[in-house]
Each structure stands twice: as C-alpha cells, then as structure tokens.
Amino acid sequence: MHSCLIGTKRYCFDGLRELMAKASPLRSGDALAGLAAESAEERAAARILLADVPLARFLEEQLIPYEMDEVTRLIVDAHDKAAFAPVASLTVGMFREWLLGEAADAETLAALAPGLTPEMAAAVSKIMRNQDLILAASKISNVSAFRSTIGLPGRMASRLQPNHPTDDPKGVLASIIDGLAYGCGDACIGINPATDNLGAVMRLLSMIDEIRERYAIPTQSCVLTHVTTTIEAIEKGAPVDLVFQSIGGTEAVNRSFGVNLAILEEGRRAGMSLGRGVAGDNLMYFETGQGSALSAGAHHDVDQQTVEARAYAVARAFDPLLVNTVVGFIGPEYLYDGKQIIRAGLEDNFCGKLLGLPMGCDVCYTNHAEADQDDMDGLLTLLGAAGCAFVMGVPGADDVMLNYQSTSFHDILYLRRVLGLKPSPEFAAWLTGMGLFDAEMRPMELDENNFKLELPHAAS
Amino acid sequence: MPLPENTPQTIRKDPWARLKTFTAARIAMGRAGVSVPTAAQLDFQIAHAKARDAVLLPLDKDALFTDLAGAGFPATELTSRARDRREYLLRPDLGRRLDPHSADLLRERAGSSQAPDLAIVAADGLSTTAIARQAVPFLETFAPLAAKRGWTVSGAFFVNLGRVAVGDEIGEILGARAVAVLIGERPGLSSPDSMGVYMTYAPAVGLTDERRNCISNIRPEGQPFAKAARTLDHLLAKAFAACISGVCLKDDQALECAEVPKVCV
C-alpha cells in the first residue's frame, strides 16, 4: 500500500500496478480501462509516491505474475544484476535526475540497458516531462545493421512504405521509385500487403528484391505479414531479408497476434539461415503500439504505456534491426488527440531506447482522432531531436491501403534539413552515386536525362 | 490571369509524373525546396476536411427518414448509451448498447408485431456522410432481392451514435432471424463516404465480431450497390440455411466481396 496526504485528503494506491496506472499522464485508453486517475490531484499524488519507490522494488513486485505470463518470465530471467548495479540504490525520482545528469553518457546508458526492466523505464517516464524524455533519449544510440546501419547519432533513416490497395506490382513500384528519388528507404522498403496469401507475399518479396539487386540499393526489404507466413516463404525459397511481427507486452496479447516467444525465435532462426545480411545480422522488424493489449482484453489491469514498455523486452530478446511504435493508428479511444499521441510517441521512443532498442516511430493518426498534420509536424520534429532512429515514408503522408496518415517523403527531407540529420551512411553514399542527392544531401535537379531509375511502362 | 514573364519558378517537378497512372498514392508531387507544393498541400487539406466532417458533422435525419420511408423502410429513431460524439469516440462500449428508453420503446414495438426474418439497422458510425449518401440507394437495390426470397424485412431502425454491435440488441428484442447493420466506416482521405454492412445470424447481446460477415467500402466509387446487395442476399440465404454467420461462411468463392471483419466500427 502506498499512501500520502495532500492537504487534508489522503490518497491510497494498492501496489505498484495501481500506482503506475494512476501516475500515468492522462490518455483515453487508461480511462476506457477504468485505470486512470480520477482527478488531476490524484495523478500528481501518485507521481509523488512513485518518485519515492526504489528501482530495486520492481525486481521484487511484478505487475503481472511470473507464473502467469511468459513476458514477465523473460523480463525477470534476463535481468542483468551487474548492469543494474550503477543505479541499484536509486529511487525512481533519483533515477530521473541521474538520467538527465552528466554521468549518464552514451556509453554508460548502453551498458545500463540490460540491467533495466521495462517497468523501471515506464515508471521513470511517468514522472518525466516531454523535454526530459527528449533529452535523455537523445543521449542514447542503439545501432543495428543488415545492409544499412540504423541508429547512428546524427542520422535519420526511413522505411519506404509503398502500400497499394490491391498489391498491384506497378502501383507498388511507382511508390518505391518516388520514395527512393526522395531519399527514403534506408531503414527498409516495407509493404503492408493487402492479403496474407503466401503466393502474393512471395511475389511482392521477389519484386522488391529484384529492384534492390538491380540498383544495388543498400537497404533491406520486408513484406509485413505474419511471422508464420514469412517462415513458410523462407522454406519455399523466397528472398526474405527481414522477419516482421506485431508484438505486445503480455503473453495474452501476443497470443491474440498468433505468436509467442518460441514462434518469434523460430522466425529469427529462419531468417538467419539465409545469411543475407552484409553490414550486420539484425533481421527482426517489430511493430508495437500503446493500447493493443487492452483492445485484446489482455492487459491484466496494467496501464497501456507500461504494457507497451514490456513489448520492448520482447523485442530486445531477438536483436532486432527495427522496432517501430505505430503510435496514432489505434484510434481515439486509446489516444484521443494530438497531445496524447505526441506524449505517447515520446514515451515509447524514450523507453525503447533506454531498454537498448533501435527505435523508430510511425508518426500517424486516423481521421476519427483529434489530430492533424500540425500535430504530426510537432511529434516528428520532437522525435528528431530525441534521436529516434527512423520514421515512415508514405507518398504524400496518405496511405491509400491502410487509410490513415503517416509521415511523407517530404516530411523526412524536412526533418533531415531542419535538424541537420543524414540518411544511413551506406544509403547516403548510394543516393549521391545515383545522382539523386549531392554530397550535402541536397536533392539534385532531376529530369528525364539524368534520372537513372527506369520507369515501368503501361504495356510491359 | 497569365503570370508576368520574369516570375520565378517556385516548384521543381518530378520527371516520373507519368507513374501516377499506376496508383492513387500521392506520388510525384514535386517540391518547393524540400517541401510540398502549395496546391498539393491544399489538396490534402480538403481531403482531410471532408474526412473530419464525415466523422463530426451531424446527419440530416429528417431528409434521411423521408427518403427511407419513400424506399419502403419507415424509420424508427433509437439512441445508444453514448450521449454525444466525443463520448461516442471515447467509449465504444456505450455505442454498442441501446439506452434504456430506446430499448423499452423497441420492446413495445416488438410486442405488437410479427418478428421479421431480417431487421434493418442504420447507424451513423464514423461517417455520417456515408449513411446520408449510401443507405437509401443500397436498400432500394436490396429490397427486391429480399422480396423475391419471400423474407419479411423490418423498417429501418436508426440508432444515433451506434456501433455495429448495437444491432445485436435490436435483433434480439425484435426476435429477428438475422440483422443487417448499415454503418458509416472510418473515413480515409480518398473515401470519406464508405458504408459497411454487417450481417449477423441469430443476433443476441454479447456476440463478437467472429459471428459477423462484413461487406465494406460500399459507395459508387468503391463497391457498387448492386454487387453489395447481391452479396448480402447470398450471405443471408447461406446463413438461414446453415443457421450460422461469421467465420464459418467465409470460405465461399461466391462470397468474394464479403469478409469477416477484422475490427468492427
């Protein structure tokens, strides 16, 4: 029991699970779940109490029981006590100060990651302002590599997302050419297929692989289908670079996605068996997002931000190339408006980076959320400052297959320019070699004569 | 008015503009510096404005009810437990149930009339524009097919701030063999007025999405009324014969445009 007196009113919280939920910044999903603080004062009181909780307490009191949940078992069993030692005596409040202080440099933070649990990361984030989340995250760089290198300081990569409502190959190719010419695609060229049909998935994989080979593009391809479909595609000889899966922070939500830790490991091994990596062998691509556990009734009364942080413990067990929080896709009943989406994006980037992941973010919203392009400009710029590793590139920010708005190729050029960020080093060299960008990463003036990517013809 | 000769170029065009014929995606927009040209920016804003208005603008119910009555579907107005649009968006659970007053009204109605084979429910859902535009022409196309089968079909039960599952409660109270819920779908930038139809056999409170079949993207530019009406007719015939709906009816080649919904509105 945690309790405190504010004026004449006493606030009581029954255990870490309730304390964490009540301390969480307001969002519609926690209110929908009946977990949110009932007043602003109750929320502030919960934070005061949370700040006094020793970090080590999170090793003793699990929010979801060890016996009940394989994600909890993973978190507990993989905890590195030696790595935890530098902060083992701190409270949550002192941990915030430590993170913001000079002692917490890139090297120290990288060494600390295996010693932290997702609940510790979530707890400290709840008492951090947006600027704290940005400053602390900006100090961390988690580097991963396959053909390109992701997560280096001063770099901003992008997933080229060339979706098409019917997976029409020429329609997909048209968007790929557009994206490459705009300097996007260094995180991956990744399609959300309209169907999970194996044949269709294999055709798309071959198509992207062909164009990648033809122009020797230092990136990796991905068709974002269920991990078991990707395993089948690998068995049938498809050119698979990245193995994709949506994941969440509890065993039950992962079950609702049709996966568990063993299936993810099987997927990773299948991908590794092809040995296609050049710069490195990180080949898992995970997507996450606050609210997915609640929507599957699999949240165990844990607040949605803490469950999201637990998903990063799942991700880091598989040395991923990319982890992407799809922050505004889920809808207003989980994140109501631009303010909530922006906060969630910054929390996810911070927690993911603190736990050792190459974090990216799908800066996005649906048309029934109270958000617009101005909100996305804000979040995108803040994430750039916070050292986010990659964002999405969708033609004109309008995904014509998934019917939501993400970030555009133009948005990525904007972000790189305003913050002086560059594409991944291998990809930047390719862009200049192809005559698309100059050495300072300014777009070249292109016309029919100097544009080296061949355009498909209607008749061919 | 033509621009003076010395007007500077403000846009760089992309030499791959002809690829626009292959996709509706916003490719080859050109650039001003590295930013989006003004016309493309405003074009995006008008599309988003239409989608937002579809979610938020109130429906002209008088016009809809007049047209429904004209099409042979006299309307009864009901209300969900959500009190306003904001609460509707925040609390999907409230949109899935009738408010007690509406439920009483419906019970009275059910007591005095024969249970229909099919109950028709319409709800504004996430696009009022969709219901205003597509509900009546769809029902006009579907009515003759149902008549040919000899099914008895109810009038239209319109639910303010309703979600798909509210049809379960209405169907249960009426004792209908099946319910068809016409509802505005989440609008996309290129499709602000898409209507979905969700069919459930033996509707009852508490059923889940796996028990429904969905026909989506109904609008002249998407799935045409005639095709959607034929699919509903075919689905109902199968459901009445098999006494089930949802996942079990999915793998039927004849039902190419029907699907089990991944997520209901």
What number is the ipTM of this complex? 0.95
Confidence bin at A460 (pLDDT 50/70/90): very low
Buried b (16+ CB within 10 A) or exposed e, B63-78: ebbebbeebebebbeb
Kindly state whether A420 is in contact with chain B, defined as any CB-CB distance less than 8 angstroms: no
Could you give phi then psi for residue A75, rounded to 5 degrees? -65, -45
Assign B223 to helix, strand or coil. Answer: strand
Using an 8 Å CB-CB cutoff, list chain B residues near A173.
Answer: 19, 22
How far apart (Å, rounded) are the C-alpha atoms in residues B35 and A412? 10
Confidence bin at B97 (pLDDT 50/70/90): very high
Contact B189 A405 (CB under 8 A): yes
Residue whose C-alpha is closest to residue A398's, from A373, A379, A421: A373
pLDDT of residue B28: 97
Using an 8 Å CB-CB cutoff, list chain B residues near A162.
Answer: 25
Strand order of the sheet with strand A390-393?
A221-223, A188-191, A157-160, A390-393, A359-362, A322-326, A284-288, A243-246
pLDDT of residue B261: 62
Give the mean model confidence (pLDDT) for residues A239-249. 98
Kindly state whether A366 is in contact with chain B, defined as any CB-CB distance less than 8 angstroms: yes
* Closest chain A residue to B184, measured at CA: A368
pLDDT of residue B254: 55
Using an 8 Å CB-CB cutoff, list chain B residues near A366.
Answer: 186
For the stretch A83-98, pLDDT in tens is: 999 999 999 999 999 9
Token pair 């993989």 in the structure block, residue = A78
**What is the value of pTM for the model shown?**
0.94
The yes-or-no verdict on residue B259 having pLDDT over 70 is no
Ramachandran quadrant class, A319 (left: phi over 0; alpha: psi -120 to 50; beta: rest): left
Contact A367 B48 (CB under 8 A): yes
Kindly state whether B256 is in contact with chain A, defined as any CB-CB distance less than 8 angstroms: no
How far apart (Å, rounded) are the C-alpha atoms in residues A120 and A91? 10
* Closest chain B residue to A368, measured at CA: B55
The yes-or-no verdict on residue A249 having pLDDT over 90 is yes
The tokens describing A12, both together, are: 């009581």
Rounded percentage of chain A residues whose pLDDT exceeds 90: 95
Contact B19 A32 (CB under 8 A): no
* B262 or B172: which leads in pLDDT: B172
pLDDT of residue B11: 95
Kindly state whether A405 is in contact with chain B, defined as any CB-CB distance less than 8 angstroms: yes
How far out from the chain centre does Cα B32 lie? 39
Residue whose C-alpha is closest to residue A187's, from A225, A168, A161, A159: A159
Size of interface A-B (CB pairs under 8 A): 137
Contact B191 A403 (CB under 8 A): yes
How far out from the chain centre does Cα B35 lie? 36
* B113 or B162: which leads in pLDDT: B162
Residue whose C-alpha is closest to residue A284's, from A247, A237, A252, A255: A247
The tokens describing A15, both together, are: 């255990």
Question: Which amino acid appears at position B127 of this protein?
Answer: S
For the stretch A324-339, pLDDT in tens is: 999 999 999 999 999 9
Token pair 């133009």 in the structure block, residue = A410
The yes-or-no verdict on residue B221 having pLDDT over 90 is no
Contact B25 A174 (CB under 8 A): yes
A59, burial (CB in 10 Å: exposed 0-12, middle 13-18, buried 19+): middle
Contact B29 A396 (CB under 8 A): yes
Contact A396 B52 (CB under 8 A): no
Beta-strand pair A157-160/A188-191: parallel
pLDDT of residue B16: 97
Confidence bin at B251 (pLDDT 50/70/90): very low
Given a contact cutoff of 8 angstroms between Cβ atoms, the answer to whether A378 and A418 are in contact is no
Using an 8 Å CB-CB cutoff, list chain B residues near A422.
Answer: none
* Alpha-carbon gap: B147 to the closest alpha carbon of chain A (Å): 35
Taking CB atoms within 8 Å and a gap of at least 24, the contacts of A68-74 are A68/A251, A68/A300, A69/A250, A69/A251, A69/A252, A69/A300, A70/A251, A70/A260, A70/A261, A71/A249, A71/A250, A71/A251, A71/A254, A71/A261, A71/A310, A71/A313, A71/A314, A74/A261, A74/A313, A74/A314, A74/A317
Kindly state whether A32 is in contact with chain B, defined as any CB-CB distance less than 8 angstroms: yes
The yes-or-no verdict on residue A46 having pLDDT over 80 is yes
* Closest chain A residue to B49, measured at CA: A367
Quick one: DSSP state of residue B219?
S
pLDDT of residue B253: 45
* Alpha-carbon gap: A396 to the closest alpha carbon of chain B (Å): 5
* Closest chain B residue to A370, measured at CA: B52
Q: Which residues pair with A360 in a beta bridge?
A: A324, A390
How far apart (Å, rounded) are the C-alpha atoms in residues A84 and A55? 10
Assign B192 to helix, strand or coil. Answer: coil
Given a contact cutoff of 8 angstroms between Cβ atoms, the answer to whether A273 and A254 are in contact is no
CA distances from residue B193 to A372, B61, B126 in whole angstroms, order as listed: 19, 16, 10
Number of other CB atoms surrounding residue A256 within 10 Å: 16
pLDDT of residue A264: 98
Give the mean model confidence (pLDDT) for residues B131-136. 97
pLDDT of residue A13: 96
Rounded percentage of chain B residues whose pLDDT exceeds 70: 94
Contact B15 A447 (CB under 8 A): yes
Contacts of A440 (CB under 8 A, 6+ apart): none
Kindly state whether B26 is in contact with chain A, defined as any CB-CB distance less than 8 angstroms: yes
Dihedral of alpha carbons A87, A88, A89, A90, sign: positive
Q: How far apart are the first and last CA of chain A?
A: 71
A280, burial (CB in 10 Å: exposed 0-12, middle 13-18, buried 19+): middle
Could you give phi then psi for residue B52, rounded to 5 degrees? -65, -45
* A140 or A1: which leads in pLDDT: A140
* Alpha-carbon gap: A298 to the closest alpha carbon of chain B (Å): 16
The tokens describing A157, both together, are: 């990569």
How far apart (Å, rounded) are the C-alpha atoms in residues A309 and A290? 9
Contact A443 B31 (CB under 8 A): yes
Given a contact cutoff of 8 angstroms between Cβ atoms, the answer to whether A342 and A383 are in contact is no
Give the mean model confidence (pLDDT) for residues A230-252. 97
The yes-or-no verdict on residue B246 having pLDDT over 50 is yes
How far apart (Å, rounded) are the C-alpha atoms in residues A37 and B219? 43
Instruction: Give the A window 51-110 contacts with B, CB below 8 Å.
Output: none
Nearest to A367 among B28, B40, B52 (CB): B52
Question: Which amino acid appears at position A355 of this protein?
Answer: L
pLDDT of residue A459: 59
CA angle A135, A31, A56 (to 5 degrees): 50
pLDDT of residue B262: 56
Give the mean model confidence (pLDDT) for residues B74-85. 96
Nearest to A410 among B35, B48, B189 (CB): B35
pLDDT of residue A239: 98
For the stretch B170-211, pLDDT in tens is: 999 999 999 999 999 999 998 899 999 999 999 999 988 888
Kindly state whether B35 is in contact with chain A, defined as any CB-CB distance less than 8 angstroms: yes
